Amino acid sequence: DAEITQSPRHKITETGRQVTLACHQTWNHNNMFWYRQDLGHGLRLIHYSYGVQDTNKGEVSDGYSVSRSNTEDLPLTLESAASSQTSVYFCASSSLTSEQYFGPGTRLTVT
């Protein structure tokens, strides 16, 4: 069965370190998205991609970057982790016409 996975599921890191969160989907979807979830804010869009080599900034992109070198993967990098980036991160993917399918989430703590 097709799926979308995220790794690691939990991560603790220190302020200033570079962190990369992985997202891998086997749906063969063109569209991929990264969101963060914080209490009181729902999910907010960080970056998104509509295909290989395409990346776009979302609502809360400062301090984050993504790259899309193939259809299946959209890794999210925190260049220099800050305590304000402690959050739950969700990756999602979709086709041109489908709803978004979400990964299980990564809980990141920056100490």
Binding site for another protein (CB under 8 A): 31, 33, 35, 40-45, 48, 50, 58, 88, 90, 92, 94, 96-97, 99-102, 104-105
CB of 18 to another protein, least distance (A): 25
At 25, list the tokens. 């989907």
Q: 50 or 69: whose CB is closer to another protein?
A: 50
Give 46 or 81: the residue with its C-beta nearer to another protein.
46
- What is the smallest separation between the CB atom of 82 and another protein, expressed in angstroms? 23
The least CB distance from residue 48 to another protein, in Å, is 5
